[in-house]
């Protein structure tokens, strides 16, 4: 049996999961791919630390450089997280012409373009299946399984923490802060939750998917991001009345000019955002609950398809890392020359449309003074901006000085919509900052 030796840098949750799954299924994996995968190093900060998964002392070490430079090491798995050290590990390994597997979405999002070029320069690959949606093999789907398609749309629930919080808020009618605190106590949410609840983690993943489908590396700063902190139980309740639920959706639309039908894929125009979105209850994404992730993909040949599963956790993420190790082993020995590169820069030019110019329908909630003429002032501002109203609710018998006013408005470019929203916020009758969410049609 041919053997490949793998150095895992980072012996935390995912590293432990990879070790454990290889112990359990190593023989099956070898029978499937023709390679025995041997872990020759697991690099950790403290080899004496007690770990949930027992890793034998003989493979544990503390010097990542020595593990990477070891002539016996064929493949490097970077699982340390963060940016600076992770980048050094990845680039040092690529310069040694060693394929690298990384689950580090923040690193790929920030430095993916440069790392991809470095891999290419040194004739090797950087694999990143585990960086998006944990155990869902979405990178492989986009790069291989859907190779026949121009992928036009992706709508993804790519952050389990946000999905868990929103699911609980919708079911139990409780506030964001309360559910977040509970999720932190249970270990479902990080003590520092910003990366998740402010949408940054979903932004990293959305950018990576957008890069694969469009063929140019999407700059992360070009993605519009809005987190879930503004969502109140009332928003979820009103959305429910109107036939929607609210999810944090990473949205990618890939277009090209009508005149450019044949070669348009060389000059893609992308619209990318991560924001709380009203999802019609009839849409399949509306029923993705709890910590689960899902990616809804439209291709011009395949039509619509959905990929669902666990977006995080030891075993789900290890499953994706091992799939990359097997691809790297096959590529390394070039016995099966069928594996497509994790990323190909096939676009000649690509642009991300400014969010100001992206058109969408919106839901608005205002806290307004309950007196005659309030609605007239609100609707005249919308009319001045040429924004139509498709529905409007003020709940009857609401107790208190102010009442919630909910409006669903027709399509408008974000720049126009946000000017109208600013003016609504300046009205004397509007008593707090207006809240808005995009309404997804997914058409």
Q: Which of 159, 211, 323, 423 binds ligand HSE (CB under 6 A)?
A: 159
Q: Of how many residues is the chain composed?
A: 443
Q: Provide φ and ψ at 179, rounded to 5°.
A: -70, -40
Nearer to ligand HSE, 319 or 423 (CB): 319
Spatial distance between the Cα atoms of 120 and 138, rounded to a whole number of angstroms = 22
97: tokens are: 């012409």
Q: In the numeric block, which tokens belong to residue 348?
A: 């000649």
Indicate whether 109 belongs to the interface with ligand HSE (CB under 6 A).
Answer: no
Catalytic residue among 98, 205, 247, 298: 205
Residue span 184-203 as binding mask against ligand HSE, x where in contact by CB under 6 A, dash where not: ------------x----x--
Is residue 160 involved in binding ligand HSE (CB under 6 A)?
A: yes
Task: Find tokens 């990384």 and name the residue.
Answer: 102
Does residue 129 touch ligand HSE according to CB under 6 A? no
Q: How far apart are CA 332 and CA 222, in angstroms?
A: 35
Can residue 299 be called a binding residue for ligand HSE (CB under 6 A)? no
Q: Find all residues with CB under 8 Å of 261, minimum gap 6, and list them.
A: none
Structure tokens at 377: 């002032």
In the block, residue with structure tokens 């669903």: 408
- Coil, strand or helix: which one is 280? strand
CB of 109 to ligand HSE, least distance (A): 11
Nearer to ligand HSE among residue 199 and residue 350 (C-beta): 199
Is residue 311 part of the contact set for ligand HSE (CB under 6 A)?
Answer: yes
Which of these, 250, 270, 255, lies nearest to 105 by C-alpha position?
A: 250
Residue closer to ligand HSE (CB basis): 299 or 311 = 311
The 3-state DSSP composition of the chain as helix, strand, coil percent (nearest 5) reads 40, 25, 35
Q: Is 205 a catalytic residue?
A: yes
Nearer to ligand HSE, 19 or 164 (CB): 164
For residue 22, what are the β-bridge partners?
none
Tell me: does residue 319 bind ligand HSE (CB under 6 A). no
Residue 174 and residue 183: Cα distance in Å, rounded?
A: 13
Count the residues of the shown chain that bind ligand HSE, applying the rule CB under 6 A: 7
Q: Min. distance of Cβ 388 from ligand HSE in angstroms?
A: 36
Tell the smallest beta-carbon distance from residue 167 to ligand HSE (Å). 13
Q: Minimum distance between the CB of residue 160 and ligand HSE, rounded to whole angstroms?
A: 3
Distance CA 362, CA 344 (A): 35
CA dihedral 334, 335, 336, 342 (to 10 degrees): -20
Residue 161, interface with ligand HSE (CB under 6 A)?
yes
Identity of the residue, 177 or 258, whose beta carbon is nearer to ligand HSE in the bound complex: 177
Distances (CA, A) of 219 to 34, 232, 353: 38, 31, 12
Q: Which stretch binds ligand HSE (CB under 6 A): 57-65, 149-157, 158-166, 277-285?
A: 158-166
Minimal distance in Å, beta carbon 198 to ligand HSE? 12
Of residues 15 and 311, the one with the C-beta less far from ligand HSE: 311
Binding residues for ligand HSE, rule: CB under 6 A, are 159-161, 196, 201, 311-312
Q: Which residues are catalytic?
A: 205
């Amino acid at each position: 049996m041919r053997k490949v030796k793998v150095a895992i840098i980072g012996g935390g949750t995912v590293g432990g999961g990879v070790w454990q799954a290889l112990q359990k299924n190593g023989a099956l994996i070898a029978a499937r791919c023709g390679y025995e995968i041997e872990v020759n190093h697991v690099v950790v900060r403290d080899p004496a630390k007690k770990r949930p998964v027992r890793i034998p002392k003989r493979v544990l070490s503390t010097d990542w450089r020595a593990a990477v430079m070891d002539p016996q090491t064929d493949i490097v798995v970077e699982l340390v997280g963060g940016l600076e050290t992770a980048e050094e590990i990845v680039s040092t390994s690529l310069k040694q012409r060693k394929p690298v597997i990384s689950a580090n979405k923040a690193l790929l999002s920030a430095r993916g373009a440069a790392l991809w070029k470095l891999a290419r320069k040194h004739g090797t690959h950087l694999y990143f299946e585990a960086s998006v949606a944990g155990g869902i093999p979405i990178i492989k789907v986009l790069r291989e399984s859907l190779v026949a398609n121009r992928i036009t749309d992706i709508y993804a629930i790519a952050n389990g923490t946000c999905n868990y919080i929103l699911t609980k808020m919708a079911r139990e009618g409780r506030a964001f802060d309360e559910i977040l605190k509970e999720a932190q106590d249970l270990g479902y949410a990080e003590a520092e939750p910003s990366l998740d609840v402010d949408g940054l983690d979903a932004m990293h993943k959305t950018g990576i998917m957008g890069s694969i489908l469009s063929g140019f590396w999407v700059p992360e700063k070009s993605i519009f991001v809005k987190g879930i902190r503004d969502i109140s139980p009332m928003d979820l309740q009103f959305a429910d009345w109107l036939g929607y639920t609210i999810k944090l959706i990473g949205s990618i639309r890939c277009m090209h000019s009508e005149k450019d039908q044949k070669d348009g894929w060389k000059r893609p125009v992308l619209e990318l955002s991560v924001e709380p979105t009203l999802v019609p209850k009839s849409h399949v994404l509306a029923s993705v609950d709890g910590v689960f992730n899902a990616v809804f993909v439209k291709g011009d040949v395949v039509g619509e398809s959905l990929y669902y599963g666990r977006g995080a956790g030891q075993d789900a993420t290890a499953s994706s890392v091992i799939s990359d190790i097997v691809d790297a082993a096959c590529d390394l020995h070039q016995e099966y020359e069928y594996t497509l590169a994790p990323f190909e820069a096939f676009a000649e030019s690509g642009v991300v449309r400014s969010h100001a110019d992206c058109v969408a329908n919106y839901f608005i909630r205002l806290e307004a003074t309950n007196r005659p003429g309030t609605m007239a002032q609100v609707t005249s501002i919308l009319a001045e901006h040429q924004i139509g109203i498709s529905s409007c609710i003020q709940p009857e018998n609401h107790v208190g000085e102010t009442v919630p006013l909910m409006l669903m408005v027709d399509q408008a470019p974000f720049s126009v919509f946000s000017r109208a929203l600013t003016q609504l916020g300046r009205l004397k009758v509007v008593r707090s900052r207006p809240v808005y969410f995009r309404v997804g049609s997914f058409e």
